Amino acid sequence: MVAEQTATVLASYGRGVLLQAGGATLHCALSGRKQRVVCGDRVHWAYPPSADGPSVQSIEPRRNLIERIDARGRAEPVAANIDRLAIVVAPEPSPDWFLVDRYWAGAMLKDLDALLILNKQDMGTESLKSELKTYRDLDLSCIEVSSQTGAGIAELKRMLAGNVTMLVGQSGVGKSSLVNSLIPEAAALTAELTRDDEGRHTTTTARWYSMDVASAIIDAPGVRDFAPPASLVRAAERGFTEIHRLSVDCRFKDCRHMEEPGCAVRTAVVAERIAQRRYESYRRLFRLYEKLAP
């Protein structure tokens, strides 16, 4: 008899995983080369009689799987069983709003909550106000915080309670710093998963941190680009709430809002009822999907 137990995957290293089993953490091997386990997975593990140590026996069905497209256009799994994507921006490095749009679109397409966190509020946020207003007007929740001064951290913690939230965004915006502010015990653990690259600490693997029994935060590596998987091409517009809302008024039912006549979306852009930059964001994502489609 092999005693099997369930656990949550805190991090996946390719060859093995770090599990949280009850109150303890343990390293566990994968049981086959094909087994693909990601941060947030619920797995069954055991000590098989023939093996050297514990190994993952099976993965429970996932509620969802967050993937990103790698340089070759393939979907790469990052984390599973998430409730919310928290997109982090900061005055420094200056925000890539197109990346923010793609993350938000990715969240909507997976039916996840989304939240925009403006970190490093201590550096001054004047330059970001107009873009923030664009998102607030579209009903995306936004919060301004500083992991350095602690401003807004208690409120952020309340917003994240009861859910599993994944922090995403550019490298250097302060995702790991936010985890450390929200969960002081995480500080020591963060160090082991970061690489000291020319004096900088940068996250290399998605890592799950429990806030309490019902809440967790996943710190993910910073990215330069992200796109929801290309299998969702047809649904690109669904990721843009204001475009999706207007599409019912387009002349053609299958309007792509690119060059079609009678397009209600393009009319709204000209009339400035849809932000030009958001529309450009949609077009870029659409073209990317066209390029990736076989």
Ligand X SMILES: Nc1nc2c(ncn2[C@@H]2O[C@H](COP(=O)(O)OP(=O)(O)OP(=O)(O)O)[C@@H](O)[C@H]2O)c(=O)[nH]1
Which chain residues interact with ligand X by CB under 6 A?
119-120, 122-123, 146-148, 171-177, 201-203, 221-222
Q: Answer with the entry of Zn ion, ligand X, Mg ion, none that 263 interacts with (C-beta below 5 to 8 A by kind).
A: Zn ion
Nearer to ligand X, 142 or 235 (CB): 142
Residues 6+ away with beta carbon under 8 Å from 175: 88, 167, 168, 169, 203, 219, 220, 222
Q: Answer with the entry of Mg ion, ligand X, Zn ion, none that 147 interacts with (C-beta below 5 to 8 A by kind).
A: ligand X
**Minimum distance of Zn ion from residue 273's CB (angstroms):** 13
Nearer to ligand X, 112 or 167 (CB): 167
Single-letter code of the amino acid located at 211: M
**Minimum distance of ligand X from residue 96's CB (angstroms):** 13
> Which range in 22-30, 75-83, 89-97, 171-179 contacts Mg ion by CB under 5 A?
171-179
**Minimum distance of ligand X from residue 199's CB (angstroms):** 10
Nearer to ligand X, 220 or 236 (CB): 220
Q: Answer with the entry of Zn ion, ligand X, Mg ion, none that 255 interacts with (C-beta below 5 to 8 A by kind).
A: Zn ion
Which residue of 8, 170, 176, 181 would you call a contact of Mg ion, by CB under 5 A?
Answer: 176
SS (H, E, C) the chain: CCCEEEEEEEEECCCEEEEEECCEEEEEEECCCCCCCCECCEEEEECCCCCCCCEEEEECCCCCEEEEECCCCCEEEEEECCCEEEEEECCCCCCCHHHHHHHHHHHHHCCCEEEEEECCHHHCCHHHHHHHHHHHHCCCEEEECCCCCCCCHHHHHHHHCCCEEEEECCCCCCHHHHHHHHCCCHHHHHHHCEEEECCEEEECCCEEEEEECCEEEEECCCCCCCCCCHHHHHHHHHHCHHHHHHHHHCCCCCCCCCCCCCCHHHHHHHCCCCCHHHHHHHHHHHHHHHHHCC
**Position with the least CB separation from ligand X:** 222
Nearer to Zn ion, 13 or 252 (CB): 252
Nearer to Mg ion, 173 or 250 (CB): 173
Nearer to ligand X, 148 or 210 (CB): 148
Q: Answer with the entry of ligand X, Mg ion, Zn ion, none that 146 interacts with (C-beta below 5 to 8 A by kind).
A: ligand X
Tokens coding 168: 């995403």
Q: Which residues in this chain contact Zn ion in the complex, by CB under 5 A?
A: 250, 255, 257, 263, 265
Cα gap 30→56, rounded to integer Å: 5
Q: Answer with the entry of Mg ion, ligand X, Zn ion, none that 165 interacts with (C-beta below 5 to 8 A by kind).
A: none
Nearer to ligand X, 57 or 202 (CB): 202
203 is a contact residue toward Mg ion (CB under 5 A): yes
Binding site for Mg ion (CB under 5 A): 175-176, 203
